[in-house]
Amino acid sequence: MRILDSSGDTVVTWDRHDADSIEHARRVFCQLHAERRLAFAVPTGGTARDTEPVRAFDPDLDGEIVWVRPVQGG
């Protein structure tokens, strides 16, 4: 997972065979979701046009999850 915010680009990784790393990534996902950030799945080798919204953590996702803050108009 890549978390894009004012602090930069934070990366959270997990190993599909390591329950502890999956649980850590799941906790991060749930926290960001609770903060109303937006998650998008980017398939391996895909572009921004290939992204899809993500609403639940899937440790077997092919590609990566990118988190952004919602755009606020004014």
Enumerate residues 6+ apart whose C-beta is below 8 A from 26.
57, 59
Q: What is the pLDDT of residues 14-61, one digit of tens each?
A: 999 999 999 999 999 999 999 999 999 999 999 889 999 999 999 999
Contact 68, 6 (CB under 8 A): no
pLDDT confidence band for 73 (50 / 70 / 90): low
Contact 23, 36 (CB under 8 A): no
The answer to whether the pTM exceeds 0.85 is: yes
